[in-house]
Chains A and B, each alone.
Chain A
Amino acid sequence: MSAPSPPEPLIELEGITKVFGTGSAAFQALKGVDLKIDRGQFVAIMGPSGSGKSTTMNILGCLDVPTDGIFRFKGVEVQKLDRDQRSLLRRKYLGFVFQGFNLLARTTALENVELPLLYRGEKKSVRQEAAMRSLDAVGLGPWASHTPAELSGGQQQRVAIARALVTDPDVLLADEPTGNLDSERSVEIMELLRRLNAEGITVLMVTHEEEMAAFAKTIVHFRDGLVERIERGARSMEVPA
């Protein structure tokens, strides 16, 4: 009997570089990023603009591929996958929350949340039930039939989170999720993310606000296309109420 091997990290970045443009206009956004993220983590990625945090987030979200380096997700080398394979990966394992909420306008909250299930080919009844459950989880059950225009910013972001959660993803990626919200709503959203993390989902978040990053278990600081330092979140040790 051999000793159990240490659990494989959920996400592994090795020497990731990213160059935009070519020739003299080329810009190196990432200069060799190494990062390991375990299952169940709550990671905040911070850094000034131009530090490479959004580029990293796009690569982690399988929306973009690195110029060089290895990105393993659940052991799969994502940089080797084509566009549609990465779409399938996103569909299956990832949930996205954006700064601008990015809900479909003139479409009800429920239908917005149903959308990812549509691409999974679920039946309408299954879609609606799951979407309703997801909306209930973010406390928006009663608002299911409202369109984004009829909801506040905080509510819209919670619909977006419900949409990200509806497929029961392994990872929730949040790009400046509180960027368009006032501080009170921001804290609500962060509390929600922390609760979801406590329930088992891995959360990756980009933010430039210290108070929001403090909710994470780990804070990764980026500077000039490299990981500068990694620290523990200040509020992450608080016992959830």
Chain B
Amino acid sequence: MLGATFLLALREIRRHILRSILTTLGIIIGVAAVVTMVTLGNGVTASVQDEISSLGASNFIVFPVRTDRGTLRPFDQDDVDAVQRQIAGVTVAAGNVTANVTAFHNGQDWDTSVTGANRAFLEAQTVEVTEGRAFTRDEETAGKNVCLLGLKVREEIFLPDVSPLGEQMRLNDVSCIVVGVLEERGQGASGADDNDTVFMPLKTVQRRFRGNDDLDFFVLKYDAGYASSAIQDSLVDLLRERRLLRDAEANDFNVIDTAQVNDALGSVTGALTAMVAVIASISLLVGGIGIMNIMLVSVTERTREIGIRLAIGALAREVRLQFLTEAVVLCALGGLVGLILAFLASISLASAIEVPFVFDPTINILALAFCAFMGIVFGYYPARRASQLDPIEALRHE
């Protein structure tokens, strides 16, 4: 019975295919919009999380900022050492500098950057060395010309099947020996590709490429047993003290708490999703009213058919079920078309705005179920009307 009702519903919808499509357009667009936005939102969240993880596994990132008077006072290794020594709970603190360079090897050249960072930095950010080894303490303290290749640089100027370990390469006019290759990393927070760099010991980069002892920023990690706010307070106090800031003076540095960034981004995507949900529910409401309208038209058109069915012994609830099924199938088909559109739109939009396409089965199933539910809500009144027709009147209907 239910199977036959379902087939009948499909047949009725196919009979008025154009009308069915136009009617379900509201639902199609609503579903396509919601599912696309949620899917893209997931993609954005994924890529943001990727970026956050490329901010590193560290807890705080500290960098100098320009004061009102326009001065920028960089940190140096003494600051980092002080933080590590004087703040209880800090497990790792490590500085970082970067310079733009052109890398040469084997007749190839590639514009990239050189990152000055020691083993501690790689540990703080949990960047693994997949081939070869990290820098030794000697290499770090002596500022030796050794380097670790980012994957991108390795691909661009090294032969794919030959190990680059022990090879000599040149960064601008500084030559260095490749001692290791880094694991693949995500897109950088700044949008730059974190794979597109060459690591050298901090001191080497400071001396050979920057010509000073400045740090661009430093990161730190603390023991999970300590409160984030307590660490941050001590950190700010210590740095203010070291930088001789008076009470009235604002901080001339910034401390980023990666956990907070994470939360903030999460709440932004949450707000966006909520906004889309509101817009979509308006669209779905309009779509639902369209469904109700067309079902009422259908009931009127098929009054005679309803009369026949009632006369030959259909119960009121069987007629109701028939029209309800039709409304549900109509809505569900609309939802299905919406999902297909959403799928296609998500894939192309995801590649256009360069976020990963993350298929979320939950939202797809939920959207479809919601459409079916809408069919019940908006199909109920027309179906009830059909079921309550007087068979004699209905049979007389032209």
Contact assessment for A116 and B312 in the assembled complex, using a CB-CB cutoff below 8 Å:
yes
Interface residues of A in 50-98 (CB under 8 A from B): 58, 61, 63-64, 83-84, 87-92, 94-96, 98
Contact assessment for B304 and A102 in the assembled complex, using a CB-CB cutoff below 8 Å:
yes
Contact assessment for B15 and A119 in the assembled complex, using a CB-CB cutoff below 8 Å:
no
Given contacts A63-B392, A98-B395, A121-B1, contact A104 B305 (CB under 8 A): yes
Contact assessment for B304 and A119 in the assembled complex, using a CB-CB cutoff below 8 Å:
no
With CB as the reference atom, state the residue of chain B lying closest to A98: B395
- Residues of A contacting B391 with CB < 8 Å? 63
Interface residues of B in 1-33 (CB under 8 A from A): 1, 4, 15
With CB as the reference atom, state the residue of chain B lying closest to A103: B308
> How far apart are the CA atoms of A135 and B316 in the complex, in Å?
28
> How far apart are the CA atoms of A58 and B307 in the complex, in Å?
13
With CB as the reference atom, state the residue of chain B lying closest to A105: B305
- Residues of A contacting B4 with CB < 8 Å? 118, 124
| A194 sits at the interface (CB 8 A) | no
| B309 sits at the interface (CB 8 A) | yes
Task: Give the interface size class of chain B.
Answer: 20 to 34
Contact assessment for A87 and B395 in the assembled complex, using a CB-CB cutoff below 8 Å:
no
Given contacts A58-B392, A64-B392, A121-B1, contact A87 B313 (CB under 8 A): yes
| A217 sits at the interface (CB 8 A) | no
> How far apart are the CA atoms of A102 and B310 in the complex, in Å?
12
Contact assessment for B313 and A83 in the assembled complex, using a CB-CB cutoff below 8 Å:
no
**8 Å CB contact of B312 from A84, A91, A121, A124:** A91
Q: How far is the CB of A76 from chain B (nearest CB, A)?
A: 15
- Residues of A contacting B256 with CB < 8 Å? none
Given contacts A63-B392, A87-B316, contact A115 B311 (CB under 8 A): no
| A106 sits at the interface (CB 8 A) | yes
Contact assessment for B313 and A102 in the assembled complex, using a CB-CB cutoff below 8 Å:
no
- Residues of B contacting A158 with CB < 8 Å? none
With CB as the reference atom, state the residue of chain B lying closest to A127: B4
Contact assessment for B311 and A63 in the assembled complex, using a CB-CB cutoff below 8 Å:
yes
With CB as the reference atom, state the residue of chain B lying closest to A90: B313
- Residues of B contacting A116 with CB < 8 Å? 312-313
- Residues of A contacting B317 with CB < 8 Å? 84
Q: How far is the CB of A176 from chain B (nearest CB, A)?
A: 12
Contact assessment for A88 and B1 in the assembled complex, using a CB-CB cutoff below 8 Å:
no
**8 Å CB contact of B316 from A83, A89, A94:** A83
Contact assessment for B315 and A84 in the assembled complex, using a CB-CB cutoff below 8 Å:
yes
| B314 sits at the interface (CB 8 A) | yes
Contact assessment for A106 and B316 in the assembled complex, using a CB-CB cutoff below 8 Å:
no
Interface residues of A (CB under 8 A from B): 58, 61, 63-64, 83-84, 87-92, 94-96, 98, 102-104, 106, 115-116, 118-121, 124, 163
Closest 5 CB pairs of A and B: A91-B313, A90-B313, A116-B312, A102-B308, A87-B315
Q: Would you mind naming 26 contact pairs between A and B with Cβ atoms under 8 Å apart?
A: A61-B311, A63-B391, A84-B315, A84-B316, A87-B313, A87-B314, A87-B315, A87-B316, A88-B315, A89-B313, A90-B313, A94-B313, A95-B312, A96-B311, A102-B311, A103-B308, A104-B305, A115-B308, A115-B309, A115-B312, A116-B312, A116-B313, A118-B4, A119-B312, A120-B313, A163-B312
